[in-house]
A and B are shown apart, each in its own frame.
Chain A
């Protein structure tokens, strides 16, 4: 079955830039999406179609794609950005899949 691979954890200091990667063989052909989940809350879509930002999502969140890897970048990280982040995409048969998630810690 199709898998998306994320690092389990990323740590940054406030004001620095956090980069979270997601790797998958189908990513050159399928868009990637990113979600933020804070403890006790439902996930929130923060990036769609690799690099588009939904309304209401701060400009410090951005996405990029290169080959089989997509990256979520959070510039000028704030304490409120501490959360779990998940990438999501689809395989060629229409099965959507999530990455394992990355815990972002703001030091």
Chain B
């Protein structure tokens, strides 16, 4: 079964650092992109960025560039999303998802065909 399993919920204080994970199984981890999506409470989906574990090619949304770091360790089929200094406004559900390129080229876009269960991050003093 193809699946993405994310790390558990986190409660942190402003200014703290955090790294959440997303482990893929049931498919070739290095052959698909892995993206991260934020959903703030009661709000819509926001595309944060995406990584290709095969060569670590990483793209960020301008809204999140410099605010988070996306990485991957292909040896353990795991992608990561990390913050160096959390803010209260980072409180949200974070999903990882597998990016499928239906047209073959990344610049022609693609979709998230498999999603993780989500990791709730709460930042509060």
Tell whether, in the assembled complex, residue B112 and residue A45 are in contact, meaning their CB atoms are under 8 Å apart: yes
Q: Which residues from B are CB-within-8-Å of A66?
A: none
B35 engages A96 (CB within 8 Å) = yes
Whether B55 sits at the interface, judged by CB under 8 Å, is no
Among B9-17, B72-80, B113-121, which stretch is in contact with chain A? B113-121
Least Cβ–Cβ distance between B103 and chain A, in angstroms: 7
Contacts A94-B59, A95-B62: A48 and B113 contacting too (C-beta < 8 A)? yes
Cα of A98 to Cα of B46 in the assembled complex, Å:
6
In whole angstroms, how far apart are the Cα atoms of A86 and B44 in the complex? 8
Q: Mark A23-61, 1 if CB is under 8 A from B, else 0.
A: 000000011010101000011110011001010000000
B106 within 8 A of A: yes
- Alpha-carbon gap, A96 to B115, bound state (A): 16
> Given A1-B62, A31-B102, A95-B62, A100 and B107 touching (CB < 8 A)?
no
A45 x B111 contact (CB < 8 A): yes
Neighbouring B residues of A88 by C-beta, 8 Å = 45, 47, 111-112
**CA distance in complex: A67, B98 (Å):** 28
Closest chain A residue to B96 by CB distance?
A42
A40 to chain B, nearest CB (A): 9
Quick one: closest A residue to B60, CB to CB?
Answer: A95
* The one of A30, A48, A98 that contacts B108, using a Cβ cutoff of 8 Å: A30
Contact pick for A43, options B59, B100, B115, CB 8 Å: B115
Q: How many Å from the CB of A84 to the closest CB on chain B?
A: 8
Contact B117 A96 (CB under 8 A): no
Can you give 21 A-B contacts (C-beta < 8 A)?
A1-B62, A31-B102, A31-B103, A31-B108, A37-B45, A45-B112, A45-B113, A48-B100, A49-B103, A84-B44, A86-B44, A86-B45, A90-B108, A90-B109, A94-B106, A94-B107, A95-B61, A96-B35, A96-B47, A98-B44, A98-B45
B residues adjacent to A (C-beta < 8 A) = 35, 37, 44-47, 50, 59, 61-63, 95, 97, 100, 102-103, 106-113, 115-118
> Can you name 15 extra interface pairs (CB under 8 A) apart from A48-B113, A88-B111, A101-B44?
A31-B108, A42-B95, A42-B115, A43-B95, A48-B100, A88-B47, A90-B107, A90-B110, A92-B107, A94-B106, A95-B59, A96-B35, A96-B61, A97-B47, A98-B45
